[in-house]
């Protein structure tokens, strides 16, 4: 499980770990294409979706996230989340049934690097809404 | 160097300045620890609770058959074991019980089963202050642990004390350097994406400074844990803690 | 079988939303990592989750490798009468696991 890391000892006596070679990452263009496919002919508008994520992330291995939609439950067809800086950008898709108490989901996600995360909600009337969070993933100092 | 030593001494003297790693964690990480229903460490506690009640080994006995209450026990570990003539950690005590009293084989170090049992026992002391004794025969082992803590080692030639006494509260890359108190083990570490022991944490630190890590269950690790336990005296047990 | 922790309130009010929390012990191996020998570690995740209450669906989720290890899910449910929450999830090997929790409506 141990990955090889390169460590540099700076003059101040601090250890600065350098990240390993970056794995392949998705790009904003790829994510835009995925979202375009999801949205189809509808216009993607801000508002009505709330994506809660910390803007400063202590460890990208597990980042608490909540997505909620300001709409009646029956009107929400799906929620999708995309992380454009991850190797595989699609994070989650949720659909709600009649017994859901609110169009809301909370989970924990992986973020490979600092990036923009986008949540898209598709409503039954065909309208599509989104929220985006730009966040900074700080590198843990002492890594396994 | 002198200011670092002075700062280290100040830290050790002023118990009120002891900071749990909890205080240095982000609000999100703290929230994960605060709610048992969202603290992943409880997945291991659950396993430990099951194992605690399970009859096993040649003796066909469960932990619960002998131990009615273990409240406060984890807060006192490591303790000096008179028969072995040296300090013993909580995980080692659990292993000892398994082998000698249950007649079962020892669990693998850092296995989910051992972490689970240790976490379950640790949870019974949650919220209680750590009270590790270094009196009497434990004293020389405490001294040995303290010496290890203060010995420069590895290719980086760094001691534990240089970072966790001298530079605690400052930053190493993006993270706050904690004082390094062992008050939440076994703990769920986001970096590990799982539960791990204090031994694992110490070995990682040693790899970090490019030193040869002490072997699992080595006397050095028990001595170091005894020193760390004493150094954390008064801090509340947080097992199962969540750390970045 | 993986270990699961489900948290639901002991009692809930009729028709009023309540929160459910779920933890699953699973590595959610992303398929993006290599082991110490440089070999790719195969993907092994829980890819699908469905929650129902009695026979009605609460929600269903497709999970991708970006879901953190030891997945945590939390969502709201409404109940009109006492019953059983059923949570079913499927991993990459096709193994299906079902866990339940009972809910008392007052």
Does residue B45 surpass a pLDDT of 50?
A: yes
Domain boundaries, given as residue ranges, for chain C: 4-31+42-105
Does residue C13 surpass a pLDDT of 50?
A: yes
CATH of domain A24-137: 2.60.40.2470
Token readout for B218 is 């080595």
Specify whether domain C4-31+42-105 bears CATH 2.60.40.10: yes
Q: How many domains does chain B have?
A: 1
- pLDDT at position A96 is 97
- Could you say which of B172, B173, B204 has the minimum Cβ distance to residue A144? B204
- pLDDT at position B15 is 52
- pLDDT at position A21 is 43
Whether residue B43 and residue C27 make contact (CB cut-off 8 A), yes or no, is no
- Beta-strand pair A56-57/A128-137: parallel
| CB proximity list for C97: less than 8 A, separation 6 or greater | C1, C2, C4, C88, C89, C90, C91
Measured CA to CA, the distance from residue A21 to residue C38 in angstroms comes to: 13
- Assign B5 a pLDDT band (cuts: 50, 70, 90): low
What's the whole-number average pLDDT of chain A? Answer: 84
**Average confidence (pLDDT) over C34-60:** 95
Domain boundaries, position B35? 2-243
Q: Which of B1-10, B116-125, C72-81 has the lowest mean pLDDT?
A: B1-10
Does residue A7 surpass a pLDDT of 80?
A: no
Residues from chain B that touch C24, judged by Cβ atoms under 8 A, are 43
- pLDDT at position A10 is 35
- Beta-strand pair C72-77/A100-109: antiparallel
Whether residue C56 and residue A97 make contact (CB cut-off 8 A), yes or no, is yes
The predicted-structure confidence for A30-64, as pLDDT tens digits, reads as follows: 999 999 999 999 999 999 999 999 999 989 999 99
What's the whole-number average pLDDT of chain B? Answer: 93
Q: How far A14 CA sits from the closest chain C CA (Å)?
A: 26
- pLDDT at position A15 is 42
The predicted-structure confidence for A94-120, as pLDDT tens digits, reads as follows: 999 999 999 999 999 999 999 999 999
**Average confidence (pLDDT) over C27-42:** 92
| CB proximity list for B240: less than 8 A, separation 6 or greater | B33, B39, B41, B42, B44, B45, B119, B122, B123, B184, B186, B187, B188, B195
- Assign A5 a pLDDT band (cuts: 50, 70, 90): very low
- pLDDT at position C10 is 87
What share of chain A in percent tops pLDDT 90?
A: 72
- Could you say which of A54, A61, A140 has the minimum Cβ distance to residue B175? A140
- Could you say which of A9, A15, A58 has the minimum Cβ distance to residue B244? A58
**Average confidence (pLDDT) over A16-28:** 58
Answer yes or no: are the C-beta atoms of B198 and B119 closer than 8 Å.
Answer: no
Looking at the annotation, which residues of B are catalytic? 205
Token readout for A134 is 């730009």
Count of A–C CB contacts within 8 Å?
108
Measured CA to CA, the distance from residue A35 to residue A83 in angstroms comes to: 11
CATH classification at residue B133: 1.10.760.10
Residue of A nearest to B196 (CA): A144
The predicted-structure confidence for B166-206, as pLDDT tens digits, reads as follows: 999 998 877 889 999 999 999 999 999 999 999 999 999 99
Does residue A14 surpass a pLDDT of 80?
A: no
Instruction: Return the closest-CA partner of residue B225 out of B168, B169, B149, B158.
Output: B149
For residue B33, what is the enclosing H or E element? helix B27-34
């Amino acid at each position: 499980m141990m990955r090889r890391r390169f460590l540099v000892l700076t003059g101040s006596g601090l250890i600065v770990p350098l990240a390993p070679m970056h794995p392949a990452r998705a790009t904003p263009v790829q994510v835009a294409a995925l979202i375009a496919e999801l949205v189809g002919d509808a216009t993607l508008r801000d508002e009505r979706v709330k994506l809660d994520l910390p803007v400063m992330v202590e460890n990208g291995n597990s980042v608490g996230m909540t997505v909620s939609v300001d709409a009646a439950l029956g009107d929400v067809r799906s929620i999708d989340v995309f992380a454009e800086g991850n190797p595989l950008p699609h994070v989650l898709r949720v659909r709600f049934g009649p017994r859901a108490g609110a169009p809301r989901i909370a989970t924990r996600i992986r973020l490979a690097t600092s990036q923009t995360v986008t949540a898209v909600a598709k409503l039954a009337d065909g309208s599509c809404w989104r929220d985006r969070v730009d966040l900074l993933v700080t590198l843990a100092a002492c890594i396994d | 160097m002198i200011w670092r030593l002075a700062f280290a001494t100040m830290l050790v003297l002023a118990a009120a300045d002891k900071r749990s790693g909890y205080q240095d964690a982000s609000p999100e990480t703290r929230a994960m620890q605060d709610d048992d229903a969202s603290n992943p460490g409880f997945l291991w506690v659950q396993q430990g609770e099951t194992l605690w009640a399970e009859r096993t080994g040649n003796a066909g006995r469960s932990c619960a058959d002998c131990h009615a209450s273990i409240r406060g026990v984890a807060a006192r570990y490591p303790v000096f074991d008179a028969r072995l003539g040296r300090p013993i950690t909580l995980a080692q005590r659990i292993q000892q019980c398994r082998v000698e009293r249950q007649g079962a084989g020892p669990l693998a170090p850092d296995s989910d089963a051992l972490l689970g049992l240790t976490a379950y026992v640790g949870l019974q002391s949650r919220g209680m202050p750590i009270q590790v004794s270094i009196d009497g025969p434990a004293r020389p082992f405490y001294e040995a642990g303290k010496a290890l803590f203060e010995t420069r080692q590895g290719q980086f030639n760094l001691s534990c004390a240089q970072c966790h006494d001298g530079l605690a509260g400052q930053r190493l890359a993006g993270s706050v350097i904690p004082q390094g108190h062992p008050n939440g083990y076994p703990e769920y570490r986001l970096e590990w994406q799982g539960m791990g022991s204090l031994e694992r944490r110490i070995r990682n630190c040693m790899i970090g400074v490019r030193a040869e890590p002490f072997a699992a269950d080595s006397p050095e690790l028990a001595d170091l844990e005894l020193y760390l336990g004493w150094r954390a005296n008064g801090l509340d047990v947080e097992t199962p803690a969540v750390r970045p | 079988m993986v270990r699961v922790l489900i948290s639901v309130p002991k009692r809930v009010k009729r028709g009023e939303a309540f929160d459910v929390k779920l933890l699953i012990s699973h590595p959610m191996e992303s398929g993006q990592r290599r082991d110490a020998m440089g070999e790719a570690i195969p993907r092994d995740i829980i890819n699908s989750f469905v929650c129902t209450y009695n026979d009605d669906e609460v929600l269903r989720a497709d999970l991708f490798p970006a879901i953190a290890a030891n997945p945590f899910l939390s969502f709201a449910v409404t109940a009109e009468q006492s019953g059983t929450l059923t949570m079913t999830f499927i991993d990459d090997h096709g193994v299906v696991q079902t866990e339940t929790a009972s809910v008392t409506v007052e």
